[in-house]
Chains A and B, each alone.
Chain A
Amino acid sequence: MSDPREVLDRLSSVRGLRGSALVSAADGLVVADSLMTGVDGRALAALAASLAIRLRRTVEAAGRRPPAFLQLQAAGGAVLAAPCGPDLVLVAIATTEANVGLARLEMLEAARRLG
């Protein structure tokens, strides 16, 4: 498994990402983070983990495999999430300038290395 800090540092080089965090899926607690000032890491971790779990259950109930990538589009940007195995979720905050496609690729690669 890769060093979480290295993974988050690499993600921070993607244009338009305002920060990222590695979150424990079961607890909703931050494992590691690289977030800009003004972002409530604790709230992000708790809510993103909860969302990821519920979405996985929803998709599984529909008879589909667990989602590999989640994109929650908001007015000023997006919250991106990629489960890293059953225990971790990689979360990133994207502005409207973000290259979401590139961010997705980087996050999927990171999730593979962390999971």
Chain B
Amino acid sequence: MRSVEPWVAAPLETFLAESSARLTLLMTASGQVIAQHGFTRSLDVMTAAALGAGIVASTEALAQMIDAPRFVSLVHQGARQHVFLSGFETPRGRWIGLVVFDGESTTGLVQLFFDRLVQELAAAAPPAAPAPRALPQDFEKDLDQSLRALFGR
């Protein structure tokens, strides 16, 4: 399990243990990854986050169109694997959870423990955002070298 924010780790570990989820991804509403479990490649995590954020953004836009309150969650039922998606508020803004589960779990279990995860995240979040830190002084110099190396032109 990898987590950008250290305070996310413990609630997420609990969720994973209780829900038996196979893959779990927490991201911001614009698709940037906060924490993940089960993915093997970081670039695949980014793709899953982009797709999940896109789905949630679409359904929220649909809800607005029909003057409905935000949909709480979305479940896609597959033949062997299923996907659960839910947006939720945190002290750090709106996040999205994407959970992939199979026969080892159920929709009810995932929903139940996801709700508890949301509560635990709200309780675990530090009171104030940390002060922004500066990037290293040689960042700009290194940037030139890296761009040349990648684009090679």
Contacts and interface: CB of A to CB of B under 8 A. Distances in A.
B106 A26 contact: yes
Contacts of A53: 106
Instruction: Classify the interface of chain A: helix, strand, loop or mixed.
Output: helix
Interface in A33-68: 42-43, 45-47, 49-50, 53
A27 interface: yes
B107 A27 contact: yes
Nearest to A43: B112
Nearest to A23: B108
Contacts of B107: 27-29
Contacts of B111: 42, 46
B4 interface: no
Interface residues of A, number: 14
Interface string B79-113: 00000000000000000000000000111110110
Nearest to B113: A46
A27 B112 contact: no
A81 B112 CA distance: 20
A40 B105 CA distance: 19
A97 B111 CA distance: 33
B84 to A, nearest CB: 11
A78 to B, nearest CB: 21
Interface of B: 105-109, 111-112
Interface of A: 23-24, 26-29, 42-43, 45-47, 49-50, 53
Given A46-B108, A47-B109, A49-B106, 5 more contacts: A29-B107, A42-B111, A42-B112, A46-B112, A50-B106
9 contacts: A23-B108, A26-B106, A28-B106, A29-B106, A42-B108, A43-B112, A50-B106, A50-B108, A50-B109
